[in-house]
A and B are shown apart, each in its own frame.
Chain A
């Protein structure tokens, strides 16, 4: 469609490739074990990179396409909702924090499941976790691929299938070659692009709208509800918006792709630096991106597909060459989420299923071959799904994050901070969390006006405590007998 836009996108992809190749070189030079390096970058992340990789992994297509689109529809109420995510910037690292870093090193854990396996010593916990991760994250990932392909399609103007193919090849090559280290380095580049992209589009949008006051007046004259906290039709209740503090705020602690980053940093100083950088970057991107969505409304009224708001407003308010560079931001966000998820799912298959149950005595070389193979296979499988996305997949993606949070939040938190917690509690908590979440999501969504994730998180909390005591009592009895 627009040559200048395409050129800057291609340059961006090339930079990603170069980084991937360079870090792959680094990893093959290193003598440390392949698993630690490929899936965790040998626990050497510095503060800036740690912050950026967390932001980029978390700030996925939802915040770049879906989020601003929803803000466009709902008004300032949706920006308010999105600001609950500022908490992720500091909460994840403070809660998992040093304890997780120390225990992960002690257990030589490479994945969240490694940690749970060593903590609870239960193959039921391991298998349940692995299945949750594979099913939920695979679905989340496929939906991101679809988003990425749509974005390329709308910018470049090529058919969906070709766009998907370009996207898939780009992602696969650098994930397979580079592993975790390549992913986090490219995450850092993408984080920076997202940050400045947000800034530039925001300024451009405010200028195009004739200043903030002017935009607000336009919004009020269209529909006064757009400048209230309650959404365009008054449907965003305080309870509903507040419950997002659990789904996208504090609950993010339990997302495996976020938790794995909390075991990958070099030292305390990196973590401290990441706390500050992460809070600033997450807060700014969330505030900026969603404000752009609201501000776009008077400038480009009547956009029907919400996901198109970002690309359209960018091409509207910026000169083409700059729009091209800046549109790398949403693409960057999607790619960095996808590559992290792909790596995580493949690490689950290789580490937690293959090495635990199929071939525990595999050689380093064999593990390497299997890792590449599984990553490539998963990539191709996602590609096939994304070609004609089945209904089930879209449905699964909608609640993938809530499901993961309901499954992992208490086994992880209690595993770290409650030494009495045992596998009885972990199993009970996971089964109750996932079970009630699926039930509530399908049969009684948003009870008491709150998001479906709230009750499962509360119920699995009690399930953990009860399960722990029942298991504790029964094991005591069996010892006495």
Chain B
């Protein structure tokens, strides 16, 4: 059954691609989060700069990082995801 799925169902090519997008998104998310938090946050507290009252590391890592991810997710949904039917079973199946 699985061999058939892999070879013939074109919907699974779409699904596999979208799973890869998910992994790429989470890697970008992590690098952004980690880079700003520990890049700026490892200075001593006296040298911190502040944006809107928050320490800069927190502002960029957590607040800006959140908005960046929302924008990336919207871009991915609008431009990269493909609508496929779930129920049209065995479509394009030729064994």
Contacts and interface: CB of A to CB of B under 8 A. Distances in A.
Given A99-B16, A224-B45, A228-B41, A79 B58 contact: yes
Counting chain A residues whose Cβ lies within 8 A of the other chain, the interface size class is: 35 or more
> DSSP majority for the B interface?
helix
A276 B73 CA distance: 6
B50 A216 contact: yes
B53 A216 contact: yes
Interface residues of B, number: 53
Interface string A143-170: 0000000000000000000000000000
A91 B86 contact: no
Nearest to B62: A83
A89 interface: yes
Contact of B37 (A87, A105, A216, A229): A229
A86 B66 contact: yes
Interface string B51-95: 011110110011101100110011011000111111101000000
Given A94-B25, A283-B66, A419-B5, A80 B58 contact: yes
A284 B66 CA distance: 8
Contacts, number: 144
Nearest to B54: A212
Contacts of A245: 26, 30
A250 interface: yes
A220 interface: yes
B86 A76 contact: no
B12 A102 contact: yes
Interface string B6-44: 100101101110110111011001100110011001100
A364 interface: no
What are the 9 A-B residue pairs with the smallest beta carbon separation, nearest first? A212-B53, A94-B22, A99-B15, A213-B53, A419-B2, A268-B83, A229-B41, A224-B45, A98-B15
Interface of A: 76, 79-80, 83-84, 86-87, 89-91, 93-95, 97-99, 101-103, 105-106, 211-216, 220, 224-225, 227-230, 238, 242, 245, 249-250, 267-269, 272, 275-276, 279-280, 283-284, 287, 416-417, 419
Given A90-B22, A417-B16, 17 more contacts: A76-B58, A79-B62, A83-B62, A94-B18, A94-B22, A98-B84, A102-B86, A211-B53, A216-B53, A216-B54, A228-B41, A229-B41, A238-B38, A268-B85, A269-B83, A287-B63, A419-B5
Interface of B: 2-3, 5-6, 9, 11-12, 14-16, 18-19, 21-23, 25-26, 29-30, 33-34, 37-38, 41-42, 45, 48, 50, 52-55, 57-58, 61-63, 65-66, 69-70, 73-74, 76-77, 81-87, 89
9 contacts: A83-B66, A89-B69, A90-B69, A98-B14, A216-B50, A227-B48, A279-B69, A283-B70, A416-B19
